[in-house]
Structure 1
């Protein structure tokens, strides 16, 4: 499917030329902005085992199929019991176990069910935390990895809207961090928690907005050398092939990262109306710039740092889910983000080959990296879990 829509944002000048109110909500932008928006879904190919031979990894590494037939696996969490996978479409969580130690997960258990839209997953102190767009639940992890003693901690996060895929993890400070995406593609939110990173004190239940202006930061993690929080934010749709970029942010408490009036390094979105009582340009002055930018519409999902004791320690992996709204498809791969002295310095290919011209046979989603440096990538288009490790 490939179609184009041309949108034109035209200023309303004549009707307001006599008005002293120059920066109220709803006033169109002063600039005329023409946007060419393309809808282009690469053709899906069903997975065949031999397709693994089409994938490329860095020299000295190998990629194999750790499990298949998983439906639509999303986020991953690795523990000594095995690897847990959330499946938002079926509302359950799987535990995959490698019983004979051959690197393949031959045993699959459903450990949580009837949790519609479950997506985020993390573990702390023998307890598993799961969330969907509204609810945060907690379970006891039993011997062997099964779950019991379900407890609902809260159920009042913002309604799902366009971005229901909440993710979460515990930080070095012991607090729980949950990413809440914007409720639509491009709007000023009415709920203060939308387009934010919230921080939850599990012991008291208190939660605060840790950072704002984050459109949809599904993948985030703490850099092991600095303990600083980093996250990959999804840029807006329907603004052309190459803008706004996907962006990597160093997320700090109390900071605003620009959405919905700016992206990247304080680049103002000229298609937006001015905020009430202010101009976009003035509003953006107090926001934080991104630390690195990447090709628009690659759609980052999983993002995780290599552990301190592993190969590539301090570098991160990001899974690019792939575009649906660009004239030439991009993404559909995993990249390594290099860090030096705690700062990103560049990106290089780590797992590629899913995209072949106008077709694709996979969409990378979740990322999990073990202490030994083994990488697991879920493909939610063909239900495959890949294992990438050094030879």
Structure 2
């Protein structure tokens, strides 16, 4: 009898211990709905640029095409634009020698970096990363890079479902690396996943800056407040309209809710409780999003206009986000670039900046079509906005009309 009682006590203790580690299952019954609906792909043709719309006073043109799957962008001096191609494992350098916002020269400056995605530069070095490795290359006077790079970090978390690491130096001189979650909706065992990492360039040692960020590919610093902002991808398989895409003010030590909550501390009822706590109590200590935008639009690149020349004065504190486009919604959304409006250093709304990629398509099949998926964005000091389309291999240049007019007159 004593052995039986002892076994029962040990069994119950084991179950309680397991719950303490993994958390209790959700109380309420939930239903997961996975909607899969892709917009029909259309190959790009030059006349299609006429379908694109930009705000009054702006114009859009093709700066380069036939580039495969260009992703992140970084502007260099003397009309240079660098492009990472994750699928090709290389980095391209394009040059616009005459300033007409169309590239005449293309050179491959890195060709052996599998999965390369994030890109930035500082003090004569170009920094590149893939899902688990950070390298730097010495920049040469003609814009090319030395052939042999230096590996600075080689043990970032594995990429999993979200291998698209992005990097940039902050106003504090530190390097920041965004690390997405390994899967769609999982509680990670590695604290460095679903996070923003901060790296000291003197030692290349890293610390956890912020966590609970499911996949914040696009981030940048507000030009006035110097505060960090990012656009986070919400989870899939939770319905057409939830969870939202988030605009977050990212602060040191901030916990942003994933995987137990989204948006303004909206609890995900389908999730188990965290170990030793309830979701409702746990999220009280998280940072709520500042602005929520429609679900499944899939944010990629994000950049502030800052002190760029030749832009309207009221754009300076605003940013641009590329919406890659949905696959997990019954009616496709995204496939455009939007302006995120800021007031007094805080995100307050969004409005369209570049649209037209999503077309009516084939009404009889009730399926829309798209001829582009915006991915990367950069804004040059001269005020030219470059957008990459990684579905059709196109780079678009968006400028104020008065700028191009002065270039045309100068050319004459």
CA contact (8 A) 2:337 2:355 kept: yes
Residues 1:305 and 2:315 are matched in the alignment: no
1:260 alignment partner in structure 2: 259
Q: Give the Cα–Cα distance (whole angstroms) in 2 for the partners of residues 309 and 351 of structure 1.
A: 19
**2:33 counterpart SS class:** strand
| Deviations 1:70-93 (CA, angstroms, capped at 9, x unpaired) | 000000000114000000001000
2:53 alignment partner in structure 1: 56
2:100 alignment partner in structure 1: 102
CA contact (8 A) 1:180 1:195 kept: yes
Structure 1 segment 53-202 matched on structure 2, within 5 A: 53-81=50-78, 82-148=80-146, 149-202=148-201
Give TM-score, length-normalised by structure 2.
0.89
CA contact (8 A) 2:24 2:275 kept: no
* Offset of residue 27 of structure 1: 3.3
**1:326 counterpart SS class:** coil
Worse-matched range after superposition: 19-28 or 348-357: 19-28
The change in CA–CA distance for 1:274 and 1:24 in structure 2 (over 3 A counts) is farther
Give TM-score, length-normalised by structure 1.
0.93
Q: Give the Cα–Cα distance (whole angstroms) in 2 for the partners of residues 144 and 43 of structure 1.
A: 41
| Deviations 1:292-350 (CA, angstroms, capped at 9, x unpaired) | 00000000000000022442101000000000110000000000011111011211100
Q: Give the Cα–Cα distance (whole angstroms) in 1 for the partners of residues 43 and 333 of structure 2.
A: 19
**2:285 counterpart SS class:** coil
Residues 1:340 and 2:350 are matched in the alignment: no
Runs of 4+ in structure 1 deviating by more than 2 angstroms, as ranges, are 19-24, 99-102, 308-311
Structure 1 segment 233-272 matched on structure 2, within 5 A: 233-272=232-271
Structure with greater helix share of residues: 2
| Deviations 1:268-292 (CA, angstroms, capped at 9, x unpaired) | 0000001111111111110000000
Q: Give the Cα–Cα distance (whole angstroms) in 1 for the partners of residues 107 and 16 of structure 2.
A: 65
Give RMSD over aligned pairs: 1.3
Structure with greater strand share of residues: 1
| Deviations 1:187-227 (CA, angstroms, capped at 9, x unpaired) | 11011100000000111111100000000000000000100
2:9 alignment partner in structure 1: none
**2:31 counterpart SS class:** strand
The change in CA–CA distance for 1:327 and 1:23 in structure 2 (over 3 A counts) is farther
What count of residue pairs does the alignment treat as equivalent? 374
1:40 alignment partner in structure 2: 37
CA contact (8 A) 1:118 1:131 kept: yes
Structure 1 segment 299-378 matched on structure 2, within 5 A: 299-310=298-309, 311=311, 312-357=315-360, 358-378=368-388
1:295 alignment partner in structure 2: 294
2:409 alignment partner in structure 1: none
Which stretches in structure 1 are left out of the alignment for 5+ residues? Answer: 1-15
1:5 alignment partner in structure 2: none
**1:100 counterpart SS class:** coil
Q: Give the Cα–Cα distance (whole angstroms) in 1 for the partners of residues 20 and 247 of structure 2.
A: 30
Q: Give the Cα–Cα distance (whole angstroms) in 1 for the partners of residues 247 and 238 of structure 2.
A: 19
